Amino acid sequence: MKLSTLLLIPFFILSNFILAQEKPNGNMRAWYEIGNEEKIDASKIKPRPNELYFQFNVNEKAKNLESLGFGWTDDNPENHFIAHLINTTDSTFNAKLQDGSLLMIQEAMNEKGRWSPIEYWVTSGCGNSYFRSLNLEPGHQVMIPIKKYHGSLKTKMRLKLQTGKEIIYSEIFEGSVEPRQFRRSTSTVHGILYHGPANYLEDW
C-alpha cells in the first residue's frame, strides 16, 4: 500500500467523524466524494453533444456506495441520490479535489427567491489532501452521490462547484429544505486536519 494511501485513511475517518457530529440546525457541512472516471455508457445515459454538465436522477437512491469504492461511513447511502458529471467536450475537464471530494456545496432558492447556500465547506490544512485531482477526459463521466434533503419548503436547488480556477453552477433540480437551513454557520471547526470557518467557495 502506498504511503499516500496510508496517510489518507485517518483523514477520511476524521472527516466522517466530524460530519456525523453535526446537527441540521442550519447550513450543513458538504462532502462529495467521487467515483471512478468511466467512459460514458450510452445504454444508461443519453449524452448531450459538446457539453460539460451534471445529469441528475433525484429518484435513484445511492445504494451500495462501499462496493463502488466510496469511503463513507457517516450516513445511510439511501439518503443520497445519484448525479453524473458528464464531459462530451473535446477537452479534459480538471477540478481540484480535497481528500477525494469535489469542492462543492448545494444552494437552494429561499423564500425571497434568491439563491442561498444550505451547505458549507471546510478546508484542509494538509498538503496531502490535494495530491489527487479530477481529470475527466472527453467521452467520460463520473458518479457523485448527492445529499438529499427534506423539508417544508419545496424549492429549486443547484450545485456550486469550485474547480480551483472558476465557479461552475449545475442545472436546477427540484427538492425541499427546512427554512432554517439557510442560516449560515458562524462556528469554526477545530481539528487536526480540517479547521477554520465555514467556506462558501466565494474566495478561492
Task: Report, in angstroms and rounded to the nearest whole number, the Rg of the chain calculated over CA atoms.
Answer: 17
- Per residue in 91-140, pLDDT (tens digit) is 999 999 999 999 999 999 999 999 999 999 998 888 889 999 999 999 99
Structure-block grid coordinates of residue 139:
467521452
Cα–Cα distance, 89 to 199 (Å, whole number)? 30
Query: For residue 37, is pLDDT > 90?
Result: yes
Is pLDDT larger for residue 1 or for residue 35? 35
Q: Write down the number of H helices and E strands in the chain.
A: 1, 16
In the chain, where are the structural domains located?
3-197
Looking at residue 24, its pLDDT comes to 52
Angstrom distances, CA of residue 114 to CA of 48, 91, 187: 29, 33, 24
* CB-count burial class (<10 Å; 0-12, 13-18, 19+) for 150: exposed
Cα–Cα distance, 4 to 49 (Å, whole number)? 37
32-33 vs 52-61, strand pairing mode: unpaired
Q: Is the pTM of this model over 0.85?
A: no
Structure-block grid coordinates of residue 147:
445529499
